[in-house]
Structure 1
Amino acid sequence: MDKEKIIQELKGHKKQPYLDYRLKRETEEFTNTLFYTLFDVNTPVEENLDLLEKQFTRLVDLACWDANKPCDKLWSKYVSKLPSILEKLNLDAEAILNCDPASLSMQEIYMAYPGFYAIAIYRLAHELYKEGFPLVPRLMTEYAHRQTGVDINPGAQIGKSFFIDHATGVVIGETAVIHDNVKVYQGVTLGALYVDKKLQKIKRHPTIMSNVTIYANATILGGETVVGENSVIGGNAWLTSSVPPNSTVFHTPEIKIKTADVE
């Protein structure tokens, strides 16, 4: 074995000029600190805000490679948004408590509901996404995705009192728009009709108006697709065109049951 040759070949195949996985690890640490600062009663807010600023400064050093797009002044703007983000998250938690008969307490929702955790990290990442902070918002939501099975792109726009029940397998694309009081069940996809890099600047994902319920494993695709307010989308439905307000959409599978003859 020619170890030196292998080393040189490996270095030669490292095509990315700057790929530092410390950014991923430290983003996850920042995300954890942020979540506990907002919710944990034993975490001191004042001390942790100082810690978060230090962690954020480190992320700026690792993520902001373009000198023409400085990120060093972003923290003060971001931290001023945290109270309003927390207010929205409390509304999300209340929506879960009011809608889910299995929820026994607010504490259970904050600590045990993967849907709430995924929404929380999305909302915290979305504010950074809007400012154009590179890569970190996506790393934050991917961290939540890995823990919950919920994949929400930080670019999605989600209104108040959002509820994801059971959570696992939910996919919400970058240009999706979700209005207020929407309920989504496990396995729902709000996606694009097809994937093409030329569509990067185009709305590719659907719009869901207020007071809509989307049941398990429904798939809604396309940037021009709008689900009208107060509609119900049944489980396993497949939509690629708009639905007017107050509609009910359902999939009717053919089910055959054969029972054995009993003598």
Structure 2
Amino acid sequence: MNDDFYRQILDKQQQAAALPSNKEITAWGLQVIRLLYPEQSKKVFFTLPQLHEEFARLNDELCHIMDATRECSDCDNKKVANAFFDGLPALYNILNTDIQAIFNGDPAARSEFEVVRTYPGFYAISFYRLANCLVKLDVPLLPRILTEHAHSKTGIDIHPAAEIDEYFHIDHGTGIVIGETSQIGKNVKLYQGVTLGALSVAKNMAHTKRHPTVEDNVVIYSGATILGGNTVIGHDSVIGGNVWITASVEPHSTVYHTPMIKVSKNTEKTE
């Protein structure tokens, strides 16, 4: 192999060395979430000055991460970091609606504390909400690293650019896929294995709406696949398990399979 090949590898090594690791970036995100919800961690900050110090430290850390990851000479990373932390009260409020939706919608949930501490759906939603705030501030790379961390931990794959309104409930969650241009209204509940996907993955569709819209007060049961940017699931609808949908559904609809199931009685006797 010639030296040009080795130089390419060395250049990539130097570029990678300048970037914070995915572990460092996700650790930053987890620290932000645990400051908002200390019930996820044993460590609690008891004084207001300590909280100010921690948020200021995480603000500086976000600036450092963006300095290393944003290829932009005129970007004001400090301004972006300040804007992110100024938006934390709104982020906290919408996450509280998600906790309420999960608690109210799951008979097995004994407390909101339990939802925050143990539910993979809330873990994935909290990382998505954090990442989505960064997407709206035009921060590259970081949002995807954060949501892919949650994906690896929970099996729930939410693209950080998806638009999801308040009171969002994921039950069980494993295998859920929510594509980049999905739009989800208020008070929507998804069960495991649901896909909100694209009909086509052609690269020339990168900047078009490829994924479905789910309006308010919709329940989508396990294994349902809903595809296409023009597909709208009307409000107050129920989508049954394992259905395949590529066309819009009117509000107040119920969509389900009607399988033929035969049950026969075994009359054979064992000697």
Query: Residue 18 of structure 1 corresponds to which residue in structure 2?
Result: 15
Return closer, same or farther for 1:260/1:171 CA change in 2, 3 Å cut-off.
same
Render the CA deviation track for 1:126-161: whole Å, top value 9, x for unaligned. 011011101001111111111111110010000110
Quote the residue 2:35 is aligned against.
37
Q: Partners in 1 of 2:148 and 2:191 — Cα distance? A: 20
Cross-structure match for 1:108 = 114
Matched, 1:81 2:87: yes
Hey, which bits of structure 1, 4+ residues long, moved more than 3 A? 5-21, 253-261
What is the CA distance between 1:8 and its match in structure 2?
A: 7.8
1:146-203 CA-to-partner distances (Å, cap 9, x unmatched) read 1111110010000110000001111101100000000000110001002111011100
Q: Matched residue of 1:73: which SS?
A: helix
* Structure 1 CA distance for aligned equivalents of residues 244 and 158 of structure 2: 20
TM-score (structure 1 length as normaliser)? 0.91
Task: Encode CA deviations 1:200-219: one digit per residue, 9 max, x unaligned.
Answer: 11000000000000000101
Report the residue type matching 2:36 in the other structure. L
Q: For 2:216 and 2:190, locate their aligned partners in 1 and report how far apart those are by CA, in whole Å.
A: 12
Deviations 1:21-70, CA, capped at 9 Å, x for gaps: 62422211111111111110614522210220121022112111122444
* 1:6-155 pair list within 5 angstroms: 12=8, 18-20=15-17, 22-40=20-38, 42-43=44-45, 44-155=50-161
Q: Is the 8 A contact 1:208 1:227 kept in 2?
A: yes
- The alignment partner of 1:217 has SS state of coil
Contact 1:159 1:178 in 2 (8 A): yes
Contact 1:64–1:70, Cα closer than 8 Å, also in 2: no
Residues 48-57 or 181-190, more deviating: 48-57
SS in structure 2 opposite 1:90?
A: helix
Residue 227 of structure 1: CA displacement?
A: 0.2
Are 1:27 and 1:136, in contact at CA under 8 Å, matched by a contact in 2? yes
Match of 1:167 among 150, 165, 173: 173
C-alpha separation in 1, matches of 2:120 and 2:98: 13
Q: Which runs of 5 or more structure 2 residues have no equivalent in the other structure?
A: none
RMSD: 2.1
Distance 2:84 2:90 in 1: 11
Moved more, 157-166 or 25-34: 25-34
Could you list the per-position Cα deviations for residues 85-123 of structure 1 after superposition, in whole angstroms to 9, with x for gaps in the alignment?
101111110111111000001110000000011111111
Deviation, 1:80, is 0.9
- 1:14 and 1:179 map into 2 onto residues whose CA distance is 47
Unaligned runs of 5+ in 1: none
8 A contact 1:192–1:204 mirrored in 2: yes
Structure 2 residue identity aligned to 1:35: I
Q: Distance in 2 between matches of 1:217 and 1:6?
A: 51
Could you say what secondary structure the match of 2:123 adopts? helix
Secondary structure at 2:226 match in 1:
strand
Relative to the length of structure 2, the TM-score reads: 0.89
In structure 2, C-alpha distance between the alignment counterparts of 1:146 and 1:171, rounded to whole Å: 13
